[in-house]
Structure 1
Amino acid sequence: MIKALITSLESGMGNNLKFVGIANYTRLFTDDIFKKAVTNTLIYLVVQVPIMILLALFISVMLNDKNLKLKGFFRTAIFLPCVTSLVAYSVIFKSLFSNDGLMNNLLINIHLITTPIEWITSPFWAKITIIIAITWRWTGYNMIFYLAGLQNIDPSIYEAARIDGATGVKQFFHITVPLLKPIILFTTVMSTTGTLQLFDEVMNITKGGPGNASTTISQYIYNLSFKYSPNFGYAAAVSFTIVIMIAVLSLIQFKVAGDEK
C-alpha cells in the first residue's frame, strides 16, 4: 500500500517513472471516464446493496421458521451461488440475458414484452443486468450471517411478545431488527466495500459497455494499467479513491447506526 501511494505520485511508462506530486489526483477532476465510472459504481451501490440486504434478511427470517420443511435444501440452494466461479457465472448471465437468450424468450412467451430487451447493449439495461447478477450471487452470503444471528436470539423473547399481543410484523421490527443490528451493520459495510471494488461481473458481462455506460472504478483501473497505454501512476491514484470512498462510507454507516465502539 505504501508503494502504491508512492506510485500514485509518479507518472511515466513502465519503470521509467518520475515524481509529479499530486498531478494524478488533480487529473481526476477533469477525467470524464473516471467521473462516469464513479457514477456507475455509486448507482450499483445505492440500488443493489439495500435490495440485497433486505432480501437476505427477509429470506433468513423465512428459513428460520421451525415449521418450514426442507430448510436444509433451501438454505443450501440460496447459499450455493456465492461459491460459484465469478467468471463462470458471469459468462452464464451474459448468455441468459443476450438478445436471443433465455430471459428474453421467457418474457416474450409469457407476453410481458413483444420485442427483446437489450440487456447487454442498452446503457440502462446493462446496469440492471449487473445489479441482478450481483444480487443473485451475494444474497445467500449475507443470508448466512442473518441466520446465525437469528438462531442466537432466545425464543422466549418472541414467546413473551406473542403473549403481549405483538404481531409478526411488530416482532420483526421491534425484536429481530434491533437484535440483528450489529450483523446488519457488518453486512452493509462488507457489501459496500465489495460493490466499490466491483470488477468481474462488469468485465465479463458487459465489458463496461455500451461505451462506458456500465464501467466501474475497478475496471477503469484495469483499463489504465493493461488496456490503454499503461499508466500505473494514474491507475494507483484512481485506486486510492476507492480506499477513500470505503473509509468515508463506512464511517457514515457506523455513525448512522449509532455504533460508539
Structure 2
Amino acid sequence: MTVATSVRSLESKDRGSAPRLPRSPRGGRLAKRQQRPGMWFALPAAALLALFFAYPLAVSLLQSFFSTSGGETTFVGLKQYARLFEDPLVGQSLINAGLILVVQVPLMIGLAVGLAYLLNQAWLRFKGGFRLMTFLPAITTLVAYAVVFRVMLATDGGAINQLLGIFGVAPVDWLNNEWWARVALIGAITWRWTGYNMVIILAGLQSIPGELYEAARIDGAGRWQTFWHIVVPQLRPVLIFTIVTSTIGALQLFDENFVLTGGGPNNATLTPVLYLYKVGFQQFDSGYASAIAWMLVALTAIISLIQFRLMREKA
C-alpha cells in the first residue's frame, strides 16, 4: 500500500468516525429566506418559459391524440401516430433528411475543422479578416441568403450558370432537377453554417495547451500525427457539440428548402418540418401535424443520444 493510499484511507476513517452535528433549524430557515429574492427574480422567466414553451408543448401533445373533421374534434388515440407509418411522404421526408445528415454534416464539420486548423496557425497573416469572411454567412438571415441563392441558381441568367458558361459548361437546371436540387440545397446549407462551426472549433483549438504540441514535437511527431493524436482527442467535446447541433439542424431544416425549392421537385427536398408545415398550415390538420412534430422530437433525441454514446465510447 502506498503512502498516498494509506493517507486517503485514514482520512476516510476519520470522516466516517466524526459525529455529525445536527443542522440548526434557524440556519435552515435563514437559508430559505436568503433564497426567496432569487426565486422572485426567476419567477418572470419561469412564467414566460411555461407560457411560450411548456404550454405549447403540452397542447401539441394533446392535439396529436385528436382529429378534427367537419368542425368536430374527436379523440382518436394513437391513430395519428399509426398514420405516420402509412404515409409515403413521411418516409420520403425522412429519407431526404437522412441524406442531408449523412452527406452535409460530415462535409461541413470537415471543412470547419480544416478552416479552424488553418486559422490557428501562427504563420498566417490577416487572421481577423479571414475569420470575419468565414463567419459572415452565419450572421445573414436565413430567408435573405436563401433568396440570394435562388437568384444565383436560376436556370436562365443565374450567376452560377453564367460562370459555368465561361468554361463551356451547359446550363444546369439546379432547382428543377431532383439530383441537382439536393446538391444545391446541401451547398447552400454548407455555405451558411460552416463558419459558425468553425468559430466554435477554433475556440477549442486555442484552448489546447501549447505544452502538448511541444511534447509531440520533441517526440518527433509530424503534422499529421500531431493533428490526429493531439488535436482530435482534445477537440472531442467540441466536436460532439458541433455534430449534435448540426444533426438537430439537419432534422429541423425548413427555411432553405422552403425558399429554394418548396420541397420539390417531386418531393426531392421535402423535409419533416416542411411537411409538418404543409399539413398544419395548408391542410389545417393540426392533430396529424402534432404527431409529425412529436415523431421528429423522438427521432432527434434518439439520434443525439446515439451520437453521444458513440463519441464517448471512442473517448
TM range (shorter): over 0.9
Task: Give the letter aligned to residue 221 of structure 1.
Answer: L
Aligned equivalents of 1:123 and 1:14: distance in 2? Answer: 37
What RMSD, in angstroms, separates the aligned Cα atoms of the two structures? 1.6
Q: Give the distance between the partners of 1:209 and 1:91, measured in 2 at CA.
A: 16
Pick one of 169, 175, 192 that aligns with 1:120: 175
The 3-state SS of whatever aligns with 1:12 is strand
Shift of the alpha carbon at 1:89? 0.2
Paired-residue identity, %: 45
Tell me the CA shift for residue 14 of structure 1: 9.1
CA contact (8 A) 1:11 1:19 kept: yes
Q: Does 1:34 align with 2:93?
A: no
CA distance in 1, matches of 2:197, 2:182: 22
Which moved further from structure 2: 124-133 or 16-25? 16-25
Tell me the distance in 2 between the aligned counterparts of 1:165 and 1:48: 36
Q: For residues 248 and 75 of structure 1, do their structure 2 counterparts lie closer, same or farther at Cα, with a shift above 3 Å needed?
A: same
Deviation at 1:92, TM superposition (A): 0.4
- Indicate which of 106, 125, 145 corresponds to 1:50: 106
Structure 1 CA distance for aligned equivalents of residues 240 and 148 of structure 2: 32
Residue 196 (structure 1) aligned to one of 225, 246, 251: 251
1:102 matched to 2:159? The reply is yes
Match of 2:116 among 60, 68, 72: 60
Equivalent residues of 1:49, 1:192 under 8 A apart: yes
Matched, 1:241 2:241: no
- Taking structure 1 as the reference length, what is the TM-score of the superposition? 0.95
Shift of 1:30: 1.1
Per mean C-alpha deviation after superposition, the further-off stretch among 6-15 and 206-215 is 6-15
Moved more, 98-107 or 196-205: 98-107
Q: Displacement, 1:211?
A: 2.3
1:144 aligns with 2:199: yes
SS in 2 for 1:165: coil
Q: Which residue in 2 is equivalent to 1:256? A: 310
Alignment match of 2:79 (pick from 23, 28, 44): 23
Q: CA shift at 1:16, angstroms?
A: 3.9
Residues 258 and 125 from structure 1, CA distance in 2 versus in 1: closer, same or farther, beyond 3 angstroms?
same
Q: If you compute each CA radius of gyration, which structure gives the higher value, 1 or 2?
A: 2
Classify 1:63/1:15 alpha carbon distance in 2 versus 1 (closer, same or farther; 3 Å): farther
| Structure 1 unaligned spans of 5+ | none
Is 1:215 matched up with 2:270? yes
Gap regions ≥5 residues in structure 2? 1-56
Q: Which stretch shows the higher mean deviation, 123-132 or 8-17?
A: 8-17
1:232 is aligned, of 278, 286, 309, to 286
**Structure 1 range deviating more: 10-19 or 89-98:** 10-19
Structure 2 CA distance for aligned equivalents of residues 62 and 97 of structure 1: 30
- 1:84 pairs, out of 140, 154, 165, with 140
Measured in 2, the distance between the counterparts of 1:86 and 1:64 equals 28
C-alpha displacement of 1:17: 2.2
CA distance in 2, matches of 1:121, 1:29: 28
**Partner-residue secondary structure (3-state), 1:153:** coil
- Say whether the 8 Å CA contact 1:149–1:183 is kept in structure 2: yes
Deviation string 1:204-256 (CA, Å, 9 cap, x unpaired) is 001111121111110001100112x2100000000111111111101110111
